[in-house]
Structure 1
Amino acid sequence: MQANPIRIPSVSNDTDWDFCFHLSQQTRNPAQCTDDLFAACQYRETEEDTAVQKEDMTADCMSFPKHKLAQSQKKYDQLIKEKMNIKANKELIRCFILSRIIFGKEHWKCAQALANLAYGYLTLRGLPSQAKKHAESARGTLLTWKRNITPDKEKKEILGALVMLYYTLGIAWLLQNRYPFFPRWIWGHLRTVAVSVFGISLDCPTGKWAYIHLQKADRNMKELKELSNGGIGGSQVSEKDLTIALGRASLAMHRMNLALAYFEKAIGNVIIAKGHGTSDLISLYEEVAQIEQLRKNHEQAIQYLQQAYSICVSSFSEISPQTAEASALLAKAYAMSGESQHRDAVEIYYIRSISAYQILGSDNNESLTTIEDFCTWLLQNGENHEAYRLLMCTLNSGIYGDCGEKVAETFYNMGSICFARGELRKAIRLLRKCLMVQILVYGTEHVKSKETKSLLTLLQRASSSRWKREAAARRKRSVCRDRVE
C-alpha cells in the first residue's frame, strides 16, 4: 500500500487549537514555553517579582493545554462511538501534540500518545506505513521508561501502550506488500525459480517479522496481566485480537499447525466469554476452514463452515449478506473436496447464495464472484446448458452494466460453452460481442483483446471449412440421388 504523506490537520476558526499548535511548534518543554511567553510580554518587574510571576504563569500556561487534552480525549471517545474514523484520527493527532507540549517529547506519556496515533492510523485509516513509522518512533522511549519506572500504576499504562505498539507493528508488517521494489510478476518468477532450481525459499520475512512483534505484544500482555491480577486494564488490544493476529502471522510463515492452534485458542476463548452461538465465531470458523483446506482436510473444513452457516442463519436470517457469503464458502468447500456424494450439496448452497443476493438486490463483487464460481463448477462437471442459462440470466439482469470487464468475460464464457457444444456460429457471434466490449474497455492492443481476436479468427476459419465440407457433402448426396433416379 502506498504511504500517503502525514499532515497535521489545520482547524479553521479555532483560536484555542491555533494557540496550541503554534505553541507546539515553538516550544519543546514547559519551561521553554514560559520563557517565550515572558519574552513576548516583556515584564519589567524586579527579579523577585519576576520569579513569583513566572511560577504562576507556568501553572496557567500548562492548565490550558491539559484542559484541551482532556477535551480531545473525550471527543475522541465520542467520535469512535459514532464511527467517524477520520475525525477520530485527527483528535489523536491533537492529543499527541498537546501531550508533547505538556510533558515533553522524551516523556512516556508523549510516547503513549504517539503509540495511540499509530494504532489509529492502522485501525481507523488502514494506513500501515504511517502506523509503522509512528510506532517505531515511540518504541525506544517506552522501553526506556519501562526499565526505569517503579510505580505500578504508571507501569501498567506503559505495558498497555507497549502491547498496542507491538500489535500495531505486527499487523503493519502483515498488511504491507512484499518486496515493493520488485514488480509483482518479477518477484513471483524469481521465487518460483529459486524453489524449483536451487531448492531455496525467497519468501519475504513479512510473516516472520510480524510474528516477532506480536510475540513481544503477547509477552507484555502477560506481564500486564500479572501486574493487574489477571486483567488487562483498559488495553485497546484484546487477547482475542492478539491471538488471531498471531494465527495470521503463523499462516504467513506457512506454519499451518501453529496457525490452527492459535485460531482454536481464539475460538475457545470466545465460546467461554459469549457462548457457542455468538456471531463473533463466524469469521473465526471461516478462517480455520481455510487453514484446513490448505492442509487438505476438506471434511474438517466443511464442518467448520457448517457451524459458521448455522450461526449466520440464527443470527441474521437466511436472507442476509452474511448468510449468502457463508453459503457460497460452504458450496466452494464441498466442491473442493472432489467427492461425488457432495455434488448435490454444491448445487444447493450455490443456489441459496445466489438467490439470497438476488433477493437483497446485491450487485457487489461477492454476488458476481459466486455466480462465476458456480458457472465454473458447472462447466467442470459437464453441465454446459445450465451454466449457459445462468450466465444469460445474469447478463440480462443488467447487474454488470451495459459495457464493462464483467460483460466481456460473460460473453467469452458463453462463447466457450457454445464452442464446446459444437455451436460454432453462436460461439462466433458471442465472441464478436466480447471483442467489441474488450476494445472499448482495454483497447485494441491489450493482450485480452488480441487473444479473443486470435480465437475468433480460428473459429471463423473452422466455421468456413465446416461450411464448405457440409456444402460438398450436400452436393455429393444430391448427385447420388440423381444417379439413382
Structure 2
Amino acid sequence: MDGAQPGTKTRSRSFDSPTEGGGADLGSDALRASATHCAKKEPAIIPPEEKLKHFEEQARMHEGSGEFDACIQDLVHCVALTRLVHGKEHLEVAQAHGRLAEAYLRLKGWGPQAQEHSARAREALPFCPVASCSAHTLQLLLHTHLTAGGAALLTHTLEEAQSSFLEAEQILGALRRRGGVSEEEEVKTQLRISAGLCRVYRGQNRPDKALNQCEKSLQLLRDCEKPEETCSVYRDMAAIEQGKGQLDRAMEHLSKAHAIAMSHIPEQLEGARVSHSLALVVSAAAERSASAAQYFEQSLAAYEASVGRQDPAFLAAQDDFCHFLLLSGQQERCVGIQQASLASKRSTFGDLSAEVADTLQLIASVEMSEGRMRQAYKTMAECLEVQSLLYGPQHKKTQATQQAVEMLARAPEVAEAPQKQSRRTTWQ
C-alpha cells in the first residue's frame, strides 16, 4: 500500500448537460472555455514524462511549505509514472521508491511504509558486487540502506536495522575509496550510521558497543562546529552510563554537554534537553542539591524560549521538576505549578488525556496529604471522570481512583457538606 492519502475534494462538473437547466444555449465562448478547462483537468492528454516532472516539482513545493501529506501523495504519483516511463527495473524506479521511502520516514515517521518502499527500491536495482557497482548505483544503495535502517528502528526489528547500517557503512567506504563522496557528506553520513548503530546496540542491551559508536561520533565531530550534534552524543553516552548504574560517569558526560550548550546554544532545544537530562541525573544522586533545581529551571527557560510553554517537551520537563519538588518537601510549590499547567495540558493534549488525568491525580494526592479532604475529593472526582472516559470503568487506574474517591467521600468534612447544604436549604 502506498500510504494513506488525504481526502480529495469531489471534482465539480465543468458544464451542465444540454438536457439540464431547460436546455440553455451555453454559447460558443462558454463551450470553448469549458473545453479548455476539461483539457487542463484531463491527465490522459499530458505525456507521462511531463506529468512526472510536474509531480516532482510539486512534491518539492509541498515539502517546502510543510504540506507533507500532499508531498507524499505527489511522490506516490512519481513512483507510478516512473515505472510507466522507464519500466519496472530501472535505476530511476529505484530512486523513486527510495525518495518515497525516505519521505515516509523523515516527514511522517511511518516505519512500515518506509520499509516496504526501501525493499522495492533494492529490488529495482541491478544486482552487482559493491566493488563493481557504478558510483550512482552505490549512492542509491547507500540511501536505501540508511532509510531501511531508520525504518527498522521504528518497527523495532533491530537485527534488520543493524544489517542495513553495517551495509551502508561498507558502501560508504567504497564511495570514499573512489572519491565518490565529499568529505562533508561522508562525515554527515557516518554520523547517521553511528547514531543508528548506537540505538541498535542500546536496544540489544549491548552498552559497550553503543558507547564505541558514540566515541566514533565524537571523533568525527571533533573538528566540526556542530555543538548540537556533540551535545546529543554526550546525552546518549550519559543515558547509557546511567543505565549501567554509573551515575558519576553520566554526570561527567552531561557536564561536558552542558558546558558546550551554555557557551553555544543556551536557549536552543538541545541546550534545554541537556539541562533537563543533567537535572534528572543530579536529582537521582544520593543527596538532592540546589543544583538540581537550578538545572530544572534552566531547562524550562530554554524550552520556553525554543518551543514555548505549550510544547510537550516543556510540559514533560515541568512535570519532572514538580516530582523533584514533591520529593524535596516543596508540596505547595509543586501543586501551584501543576494547577497552572492544567490549561496548557488541556490545550496541548486534550481534556480527555492521560496528562490531564495524571496532573489532577497528583494535585488531589497532595491536597489529601495536607488534610484538605473536601478539595481533594473534588479534584479526585474530576480525575475519575476523565479516566472513566479515557480508559473505561474497568481499567485498573480508573478502579484505583474510584476507591480513592469513595474513601474521601467517607471523610467527615466531605460527608457533612451535603447535610449542611440541606439544612441551609431547609432554613431558607
State the TM-score, normalizing by the size of structure 2.
0.74
| Aligned pair partner of 1:129 in 87, 93, 112 | 112
Return closer, same or farther for 1:129/1:357 CA change in 2, 3 Å cut-off: closer
Secondary structure class of the residue paired with 2:134? helix
Equivalent residue runs for 1:47-446 within 5 Å: 65=49, 85-144=68-127, 146-147=128-129, 155-176=134-155, 206-228=157-179, 231=182, 238-272=189-223, 274-275=224-225, 278-318=227-267, 320-336=268-284, 338-340=285-287, 342-355=288-301, 362-395=309-342, 398-401=343-346, 403-405=351-353, 406-439=355-388, 446=395
| More displaced stretch, 253-262 vs 128-137 | 128-137
Return closer, same or farther for 1:3/1:365 CA change in 2, 3 Å cut-off: farther
Q: For the aligned residues, what is the CA RMSD? A: 4.0
Provide the rounded CA distance (Å) in 2 between the counterparts of 1:17 and 1:304.
61
Secondary structure class of the residue paired with 1:377? helix
Provide the rounded CA distance (Å) in 2 between the counterparts of 1:303 and 1:74.
48
Provide the rounded CA distance (Å) in 2 between the counterparts of 1:157 and 1:166.
14
Provide the rounded CA distance (Å) in 2 between the counterparts of 1:148 and 1:307.
40
1:216 CA displacement: 1.2
Amino acid at match of 1:142: L
Residue 452, structure 1, aligned to residue 398, structure 2: no
1:332 CA displacement: 1.0
Amino acid at match of 2:236: E
1:160 CA displacement: 1.1
Amino acid at match of 2:203: A
Structure of higher CA gyration radius? 1
Provide the rounded CA distance (Å) in 2 between the counterparts of 1:98 and 1:173.
27
Q: Deviations over 1:243-302 (max 9, x none)?
A: 211211122211111111112212321232x23x63332332322222222122222322
**Which runs of 5 or more residues in structure 1 are unaligned?**
22-64, 178-205, 468-485
**Which runs of 5 or more residues in structure 2 are unaligned?**
12-37, 417-428
Q: Name the structure, 1 or 2, with higher relative contact order (CA <8 Å, separation 6+).
A: 1
Provide the rounded CA distance (Å) in 1 between the counterparts of 2:242 and 2:395.
36
Return closer, same or farther for 1:331/1:466 CA change in 2, 3 Å cut-off: same
Q: Is the 8 A contact 1:170 1:209 kept in 2?
A: yes
Provide the rounded CA distance (Å) in 2 between the counterparts of 1:240 and 1:369.
28
Q: Is the 8 A contact 2:130 2:171 kept in 1?
A: no
Provide the rounded CA distance (Å) in 2 between the counterparts of 1:383 and 1:303.
28
1:214 CA displacement: 1.4
The sequence identity of aligned pairs, in percent, is 24
1:210 CA displacement: 1.0
Q: Is the 8 A contact 2:79 2:96 kept in 1?
A: yes
1:344 CA displacement: 1.1
Amino acid at match of 2:142: V
In the alignment of these two chains, the number of paired residues is 382
State the TM-score, normalizing by the size of structure 1.
0.66
